[in-house]
């Protein structure tokens, strides 16, 4: 079983990351607002304003929800976040996450090669 890839560090949450978190959890705006204890209007603003700054208190709440993501949810988060970025701009979070996922794949392929060599 592959270990869960390391989640990229999010220094400051914006609407783009919060919206990607909602998509990763496969929640509606209503469901996420209830889950986090915020208004639906707040979640809607995150979805429509990717550059929205999120309050300090809510940053901690989003950190906690993010830390609870499983491997598949992390992958959905990264996919949604990448889609939210303009083509010419890639956030450092996305770049770090892609590097982590690529390293995990390299490790997996190296393991397969080592296994074949041991069998020979």
Mean pLDDT, residues 16-34: 96
- The H-or-E segment that residue 91 falls in is none
Query: To the nearest whole number, what is the mean pLDDT of the chain?
Result: 87
Residues 6+ apart with CB under 8 A from 85: 16, 91, 94
Q: What 3-state DSSP class applies to 21?
A: helix
For 14, phi then psi, to 5°, come to -120, 180
Report yes or no on whether pTM surpasses 0.85. Answer: no
Mean pLDDT, residues 27-32: 96
Mind listing the pLDDT tens digit for each residue in 60-113?
Answer: 999 999 999 998 999 999 889 888 776 555 677 777 888 888 888 899 899 988
Name beta bridge partners: 53: 14
For 99, phi then psi, to 5°, come to -65, -40
- Give me the pLDDT at residue 100, please: 85
């Amino acid at each position: 079983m592959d270990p869960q890839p390391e989640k990229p560090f999010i220094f400051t949450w914006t609407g783009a990351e919060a919206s990607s978190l909602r998509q990763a959890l496969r929640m509606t705006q209503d469901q996420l607002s209830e889950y986090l204890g915020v208004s639906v209007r707040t979640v809607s603003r995150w979805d429509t304003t990717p550059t929205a700054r999120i309050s300090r208190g809510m940053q901690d709440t989003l950190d906690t929800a993010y830390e609870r993501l499983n491997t598949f949810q992390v992958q959905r988060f990264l996919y949604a976040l990448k889609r939210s970025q303009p083509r010419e701009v890639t956030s450092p979070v996305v770049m770090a996450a892609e590097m982590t996922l690529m390293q995990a794949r390299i490790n997996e392929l190296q393991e397969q090669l080592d296994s074949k060599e041991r069998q020979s």
